[in-house]
C-alpha cells in the first residue's frame, strides 16, 4: 500500500469520525459513555 493512499485514508476516517461524533452529540445526551462503549467494542475485535 502506498503512503499517500494510507494518509488520505486516515484523513478521511478522521473527518467521518468527527462528523459522526458531532451528529451523535445532537442525538445522545449521554455521548461520552457511548464513545467509551464504542472504543471498547473496537478494542474487543
Q: What is the pLDDT of residues 25-39, one digit of tens each?
A: 777 666 677 778 888
pLDDT in tens, 3-12: 999 999 999 9
Q: Would you state the pLDDT for residue 16?
A: 95
Q: Confidence class of residue 44 from pLDDT cuts 50, 70 and 90? A: confident
Among 42, 15, 20, 45, which Cα is nearest to 31's?
A: 20
pTM for this prediction: 0.49
Kindly tell me if the per-residue pLDDT of 1 is higher than 70: no
CA proximity to 21, closest of 35, 37, 8, 33: 35
Amino acid at each position: 500500500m502506498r503512503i499517500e493512499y494510507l494518509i488520505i485514508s486516515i484523513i478521511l476516517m478522521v473527518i467521518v469520525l468527527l462528523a459522526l461524533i458531532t451528529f451523535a452529540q445532537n442525538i445522545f445526551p449521554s455521548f461520552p459513555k457511548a464513545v467509551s462503549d464504542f472504543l471498547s467494542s473496537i478494542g474487543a475485535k
